[in-house]
Amino acid sequence: MHSKSTRPAVILLSGGLDSYTAAAMVRAQGFDLFALTVRYGQRHSVELEAARRVARALDVARHVELDVDLSAFGGSSLTSNDPVPKDRVIESTEIPSTYVPARNTVFLSLALGWAEVLGARDLVVGVNVLDYSGYPDCRPAFIAAFEDLASVATAAGVGGARFQIHAPLIQMSKAQIIRTGLSLGLDYGLTHSCYDPSPTGAPCRRCDSCVLRAAGFADAGAIDPLIGS
C-alpha cells in the first residue's frame, strides 16, 4: 500500500471488456487515469454509453470524448453501412472487414497529444494479440514502433523523456483477461463488446467480438453478466 499517486496515465477506453481490464490493471499499479474515448463514426452509441459507465466505475480523473469521423475515409464495416460479418471462423488469418484502417495509430496519437499536455509519460491500450481477429495494429511490433515515434514526435521526447505504451493484455488469452478482471472486482455487466447490437443494445452473439467474448467466459469458467447462465 502507498499513498495516493499523482502519476497520470492516458487510457484509451472503448467501453469494451479489454480496455476496462487494462485500465484497472494500470490503476492497481498506482496511476491516476485520464480516459479518452474516441467517437469514430460507429453506427451505434451503445459502446459510448458503456465507456461512460466504465469511466465512472474506474473513478477516472477525467474522461474526454472526442469526435473523429473516420467514416469520411470509408474502408471498414464498422464505419459504413456494409454488413458486419457473422459466424466467421475466427482462426482465419485474413484481416476482416471490421478492421478500421489506422484506427489504433490515430487513437494513440490523440492519447499522446493529451499525455504531453498533462505531463504524462504513460499511455494505456487494451490491445491483445492472441484472441485478436487479424488487426495489424494490435501486435507488439506496432506498440514498439509507436513508442519509438512518441519519443521523437513530442517536445517531451526531444527533452529526453521516454513514453511507455502499457499494453498489459497483449499476450493474455481472453479467459486470462476475464479472470484477471474478476479478481480485481470488475463488473463486466457495465461493458459492451458486440459489433452489431440490437436497437435496445443487446449483443448479437454471432459477430467476431461476441464469439470471442463468449469463448473467453466459457474458458474462464465464469458467467457473462450480459448474457446470463
Does residue 9 belong to the site contacting a copy of itself (CB under 8 A)?
A: no
Does residue 158 belong to the site contacting a copy of itself (CB under 8 A)?
A: yes
Closer to a copy of itself by CB, 95 or 130: give it: 95
Closer to a copy of itself by CB, 85 or 113: give it: 113
Residue 15, judged by CB atoms within 10 A of its CB (0-12, 13-18, 19+), counts as buried
Whole-angstrom distance, CA of residue 92 vs CA of residue 133: 8
Whole-angstrom distance, CA of residue 58 vs CA of residue 35: 10
Measure Cα distances from 55 to 72, 122, 189 in Å. 28, 18, 14
Q: Where are the beta strands (DSSP E) in the chain?
A: 7-12, 31-39, 62-67, 122-124, 164-166
Q: Residues 132 to 151: which contact a copy of itself by CB under 8 A?
A: 136-137, 139, 141-142, 145-146, 148-150
Closer to a copy of itself by CB, 113 or 201: give it: 113
Minimal CA–CA distance to 211: which of 98, 58, 107, 74? 98
- The correct pick among 37, 77, 98, 104 for binding a copy of itself (CB under 8 A) is 104
Q: What number of residues does the chain have?
A: 229
Minimal CA–CA distance to 29: which of 7, 60, 45? 7
What mask of x and - would describe binding to a copy of itself in positions 27 to 66, judged by CB under 8 A? -------------------------------------x-x
Residue for grid cell 487494462: 22
- The correct pick among 28, 90, 117, 202 for binding a copy of itself (CB under 8 A) is 117
Query: Which cell is 118 given?
Result: 498533462
Does residue 73 belong to the site contacting a copy of itself (CB under 8 A)?
A: yes
Does residue 175 belong to the site contacting a copy of itself (CB under 8 A)?
A: no
- The correct pick among 154, 161, 206, 227 for binding a copy of itself (CB under 8 A) is 154
Contact stretch for a copy of itself (CB under 8 A) within 44-52, 103-111, 186-194, 208-216 = 103-111
Closer to a copy of itself by CB, 67 or 91: give it: 67
Measure Cα distances from 65 to 52, 82, 147, 196, 205 in Å. 9, 25, 23, 21, 27
Does residue 85 belong to the site contacting a copy of itself (CB under 8 A)?
A: no
Task: Give the binding site for a copy of itself (CB under 8 A).
Answer: 64, 66-70, 72-75, 95, 99-106, 108-110, 112-114, 116-117, 136-137, 139, 141-142, 145-146, 148-150, 152-155, 157-158
